[in-house]
Amino acid sequence: MKIIICGAGQVGWQIARHLSAENNDVTVVDSNPDLVRRATESLDVGGITGFASYPDILERAGARDADMIIAATFSDEVNMVTCQVAHSIFRIPRKIARLRAQSYLDAIYSDLYQREHMPIDVVISPEKEVAEAALQRLAAPATFDTELFLDGQAQLIGVTLDEQCPVIDTPLRQLTELFSTLRAVVVGVRREGTLFAPEPGDQLFANDQVYIFTHTADLSRTLEIFGKSARKRERVIVIGGGNVGLAVARKLEQRTDRVRAKVIERNRRVAERAADALERTIVLNGDGLDLEILTEANIDKADAVLAVTDDDKTNLLVSARAKAAGCPMAIALVNDPTLNSLMGPLGIDAFVNPRATTVSSILRHIRHGRVRMVYSIGDAEAEVIEAQVMASSDIADQRIRDIPFPEGVLVGAVKKGNEVIKPLATTRLEVDDVIAVFCLAKDVPEVETLLQAGIGYF
């Protein structure tokens, strides 16, 4: 595929990294020459310096014969105009835009993106995606990573094993024998900084970061087996009342289990906007780093703090201070992956990576085959791909053990009709089954080839 990526910031660079590694013809466009230089020097991509919405810039980037354009600049308006120019002048068949402003995302204005108006095929909302990711972290508080698959019936969780974990030093094959009714599969292990797909004879050790696929109904039992608590979080303090914090608070208000939330926002105007938009949530105007404000919010009685300001360092420090003040759980929004190593020393329980979340959203619309979802793990180390089995694909009517998956690939869950089952080596994949596959980044192209029946974008 020939793909133009507009915007060479964190999201654009990561998307370019994914797609160029899979032998796509990628060109990056950005008005900042330093960002373009960074992309062309570190990745196998072309680069054009200029404003992405200018027709002559897009023409220089190869828009005449491009298959897809991804508009991920910092400006919503530039992204929208870029897609319009790509459609009206260059007839680029597939157009994806990242939009932040909530007004553009309101459902009552969805007609705006129809072909006769503003022809955008896929709209990605970072704030909405990040808010959903943050809520999933709260729902599985003992995990450092989590994502739902197979229409919410299966869940990928990441847990760090400690010395008290009852299953450390146990071969995975033996775990299957011990817990034969448990619908859970260990699909990935990160040990001493290296992520790999484990073999049945591999053991788990303390400090391993383990990725597990589990049936949603078996989540509590799975966490218990791996030494984690599934205690419900009823009182939540959100630090940051911007788009992400407001979206989280709104979602919490809509829940039927009546989670009580408070929002702390430093900017008075933003705090007033949040207070007007929320019905049952208390909004405090103040600095989340101020111990007096945290005390006023009853931080010592809260079950969790969620730090989602637009500054990574503030989120980390607020989380650490909240933990020191007695809050048992802290989740921080962190854009910069190099800061993740500070989480352990600071005692932070989990993080949300907006870049990875947005990248995952975009990738699901790019993959070949009948791909329904893609989730990017770590720093683009691996992906989980959810896809429907097609009649003419190489995996149809094959037992899992007979499919030539690369070594770094494991099937985590299979949905047959309305039932999600734990995959076994003897499980036969039938047409229209939906599978969730864990694969290391280097194996993604080969997995894509196995999944696809022909060139198509879904």
Whether 52 maps to a domain, the answer reads: yes
How many structural domains are present in the chain? 4
* Residue (of 296, 295, 319, 300) closest to 240 by Cα position: 319
pLDDT of residue 127: 76
CATH classification at residue 404: 3.30.70.1450
Neighbours of 174 (CB within 10 A): 13
Both 143 and 217 in one domain: the answer is yes
* Residue (of 43, 40, 42) closest to 23 by Cα position: 43
Neighbours of 235 (CB within 10 A): 17
Both 175 and 115 in one domain: the answer is no
The one-digit pLDDT tens for each residue of the chain (458 residues) are 899 999 998 888 888 988 887 778 999 999 999 999 999 999 999 999 999 999 999 999 999 999 999 999 989 999 999 999 999 999 999 999 988 777 776 656 666 776 667 788 888 887 777 888 888 777 777 788 888 899 889 999 999 898 888 898 989 999 888 898 899 999 999 998 899 999 999 999 998 999 999 999 998 899 989 988 766 678 999 999 988 899 889 888 887 667 789 999 999 999 999 999 998 899 999 999 999 999 999 999 999 999 999 899 999 999 999 999 999 889 999 887 777 778 778 888 888 887 777 777 787 777 655 778 888 887 778 989 999 998 888 899 999 999 999 988 999 999 999 999 999 999 999 999 999 999 998 898 888 888 875 444 33
Both 149 and 37 in one domain: the answer is no
Domain boundary among 162, 192, 225: 225
pLDDT of residue 369: 53
pLDDT of residue 454: 41
Both 399 and 337 in one domain: the answer is no
Asked if residues 336 and 130 have their Cβ atoms less than 8 Å apart, the reply is no
pLDDT of residue 453: 56
Domain boundary among 330, 357, 384: 357
Whether 437 maps to a domain, the answer reads: yes
Both 211 and 267 in one domain: the answer is no
Domain that holds residue 184: 130-225
Whether 382 maps to a domain, the answer reads: yes
* pTM, two decimal places: 0.69
pLDDT of residue 306: 93
Whether 186 maps to a domain, the answer reads: yes
How far is Cα 111 from Cα 93, in angstroms, rounded to an integer? 19
Both 57 and 116 in one domain: the answer is yes
* Residue (of 220, 212, 273) closest to 242 by Cα position: 273
pLDDT of residue 368: 57
Both 136 and 218 in one domain: the answer is yes
pLDDT of residue 458: 37
Domain boundary among 357, 380, 399: 357
Whether 230 maps to a domain, the answer reads: no
Both 408 and 342 in one domain: the answer is no
Both 310 and 217 in one domain: the answer is no
CATH classification at residue 282: 3.40.50.720
